[in-house]
């Protein structure tokens, strides 16, 4: 069961309600009216909990789980288990995620208000239903939408615009940015900082004034400890619905499409462009002025130095089609036969 110190559960919900919510089917023995109180992993679930079995690698936990009911599919459900009631669906991971949002709806119903120890500039405007926590600072002429939550010690700079239903995590710094609705930003991020721009000058590199903005579209999700620089001139853009993990660097004038997924510690150098639905593994680097087509998938730790066409799957450094990369790493390993035996 989730820890009540940190999460507020809705429910309980009956097995019949849960089955209906996900369009699934209960096994014959399951009592429709049985109440599920919360969610737990297979190996720590107890009576009253619902769990999920979505991959056969967890078969041993499935066999012995004490969960009252388990979401799974008809194939996995045939495996040995201890009589736990099954809720059968086509995609157990998806169904369990849907049930997760049912039990733990996003906390939109926070107490509204500006904490006495928040610092809101007189010329800032704060939408109804918003909550500003202790130590947060809202700069002059900043505009927040309805029902926003700005956590403690976050700093929202002068003129920044934030749409409705956004959340900004503790200790995050935002400046020079226009942010859409329903954007969720974690803690300790730097958004709108000065990009790393230099031109060769007579006495060595000369800094270029960074005069653009950061545009973050609706429904974007940003993790923690990221750095997203404003444009040098023109804007840095993060497209609608894109999700960014932790410790990611987005340089000036990068343009990221819609519904991209960018995993942790990846970096995109200046002025590169990503199409929609691009997926990047962790620790990927993309050179500056590169164009990545829609739906490109990039293996973790790759270094991308060439434009990449729509739909390609690439890996390695320099990144290449992933099948070629796999052959290359296998070939390199094969050279073992040329070396001395271990």
Catalytic one among 252, 259, 306, 326?
252
Among 3, 29, 80, 111, binds its own copies (CB under 8 A): 3
Q: Using the minimum distance from each CB to its own copies, give the nearer residue, 64 or 324.
A: 324
Dihedral angle of Cα 270, 162, 5, 116, to the nearest 10 degrees: 120
Pairing between β-strand 204-207 and β-strand 198-201 as defined by DSSP bridges: antiparallel
Residue 94 CB, nearest approach to its own copies (Å): 5
Contacts (Cβ under 8 Å, ≥6 apart) of 101: none
Q: Using the minimum distance from each CB to its own copies, give the nearer residue, 33 or 200.
A: 200
Query: Are 257 and 239 within 8 A, CB to CB?
Result: yes
By CB under 8 A, tell whether 56 contacts its own copies: no
Q: Is 176 a catalytic residue?
A: no
Query: Are 176 and 156 within 8 A, CB to CB?
Result: no
By CB under 8 A, tell whether 35 contacts its own copies: no
Among 24, 77, 180, 224, binds its own copies (CB under 8 A): 224
Query: Are 8 and 1 within 8 A, CB to CB?
Result: no
By CB under 8 A, tell whether 236 contacts its own copies: no
One character per residue 57-86, x = contact with its own copies (rule: CB under 8 A) = ------------------------------
Residue 109 CB, nearest approach to its own copies (Å): 15
One character per residue 144-173, x = contact with its own copies (rule: CB under 8 A) = -------xxx-x-xxx-x-------xxxxx
Instruction: Quote the Cα angle for 81-84-89, to 5°.
Output: 90
Site for its own copies in 291-310 (CB under 8 A): 300-301, 303
Stretch that binds its own copies, among 12-20, 21-29, 82-90, 260-268 (CB under 8 A): 260-268
Query: Are 18 and 36 within 8 A, CB to CB?
Result: yes
Q: Give which of 211, 224, 13, 170 is closest to 101, Cα–Cα.
A: 13
Q: Helices in the chain by DSSP H: which ranges? A: 15-22, 59-64, 92-103, 322-334
Q: Using the minimum distance from each CB to its own copies, give the nearer residue, 146 or 227.
A: 227
Site for its own copies in 268-287 (CB under 8 A): 269, 277, 282-283, 285, 287
By CB under 8 A, tell whether 245 contacts its own copies: yes
Give first-to-last CA distance, the chain, whole Å: 49
Structure tokens at 18: 């849960």
By CB under 8 A, tell whether 241 contacts its own copies: yes
Query: Are 29 and 85 within 8 A, CB to CB?
Result: yes
Among 41, 108, 113, 311, binds its own copies (CB under 8 A): 41
> How far apart, in whole angstroms, are the C-alpha atoms of residue 141 and residue 164?
17
Among 125, 190, 218, 291, binds its own copies (CB under 8 A): 190
Site for its own copies in 90-119 (CB under 8 A): 91, 93-94, 97-98, 100-101, 103-104, 115, 117, 119
Question: Counting Cβ atoms within 10 Å, is residue 217 exposed (0-12), middle (13-18) or buried (19+)?
Answer: buried
Residue 29 CB, nearest approach to its own copies (Å): 25
Total residues interacting with its own copies, rule: CB under 8 A: 112
Residues that are catalytic: 252
């Amino acid at each position: 069961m989730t820890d009540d110190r940190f999460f507020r559960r809705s429910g309980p919900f009956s097995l019949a309600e849960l089955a209906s919510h996900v369009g699934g089917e209960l096994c014959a023995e399951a009592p429709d009216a049985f109440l599920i109180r919360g969610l737990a992993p297979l190996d720590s679930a107890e009576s009253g909990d619902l769990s999920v079995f979505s991959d056969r690698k967890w078969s041993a936990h499935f066999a012995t789980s004490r969960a009252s009911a388990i979401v799974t599919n008809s194939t996995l459900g045939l495996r040995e288990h201890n009589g736990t009631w099954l809720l059968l669906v086509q995609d157990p991971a998806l169904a369990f995620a849907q049930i997760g949002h049912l039990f733990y709806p996003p906390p939109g119903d926070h107490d509204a208000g500006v904490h006495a120890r928040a610092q809101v500039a007189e010329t800032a405007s704060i939408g109804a239903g918003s909550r500003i926590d202790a130590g947060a600072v809202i700069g002059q002429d900043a505009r927040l939408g309805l029902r926003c939550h700005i956590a403690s010690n976050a700093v929202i700079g002068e003129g920044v615009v934030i749409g409705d239903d956004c959340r900004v995590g503790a200790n995050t710094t935002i400046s020079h940015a226009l942010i859409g609705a329903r954007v969720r930003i974690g803690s300790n991020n730097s958004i709108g900082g000065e990009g790393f721009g230099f031109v060769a000058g007579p006495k060595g590199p000369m800094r270029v004034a960074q005069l653009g903005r950061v545009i973050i579209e609706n429904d974007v999700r940003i993790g923690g400890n990221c750095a997203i620089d404003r444009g040098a001139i023109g804007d840095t853009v993060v497209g609608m619905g894109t999700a960014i993990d932790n410790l990611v660097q987005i340089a000036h004038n990068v343009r990221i499409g819609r519904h991209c997924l960018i995993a942790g510690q990846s970096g995109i150098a200046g002025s590169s462009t990503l199409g929609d639905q691009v997926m990047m593994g962790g620790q990927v680097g993309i050179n500056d002025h590169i164009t990545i087509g829609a739906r490109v998938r990039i293996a973790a730790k790759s270094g991308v130095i060439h434009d990449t066409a729509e739909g390609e799957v690439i890996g390695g450094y320099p990144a290449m089609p992933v099948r070629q990369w796999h052959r290359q790493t296998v070939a390199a390993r094969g050279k073992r036969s040329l070396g001395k035996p271990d």
